[in-house]
Amino acid sequence: MKHLMWLLKWILKAAIFFALFAFALNNQQDATVHFFFGTEWRAPLVLVVLAAFAAGLVAGVLAMVPRWWKHRSAASRAQTTIAPTSAPGTPPQPPLPPHGL
User: Side chain identity at 27, as an amino acid letter?
Assistant: N
- pLDDT for residue 60: 95
Tens digit of pLDDT for each residue in 4-45?
Answer: 888 999 999 999 989 988 888 887 888 888 889 989 989 888
Handedness of CA 13, 15, 19, 25 (dihedral sign): positive
Tens digit of pLDDT for each residue in 60-98?
Answer: 999 999 998 888 888 888 888 776 555 666 666 677 777
Spatial distance between the Cα atoms of 71 and 77, rounded to a whole number of angstroms: 10
pTM confidence score? 0.53
N residues, the chain: 101
Contacts of 46 (CB under 8 A, 6+ apart): 23, 24, 27, 28
Sequence ranges of the domains in the chain: 20-79
- pLDDT for residue 85: 56
Spatial distance between the Cα atoms of 71 and 20, rounded to a whole number of angstroms: 36
CA distances (Å), origin 38, targets 52, 63, 67? 20, 29, 37
Task: Please give the DSSP secondary-structure letter assigned to residue 99.
Answer: T
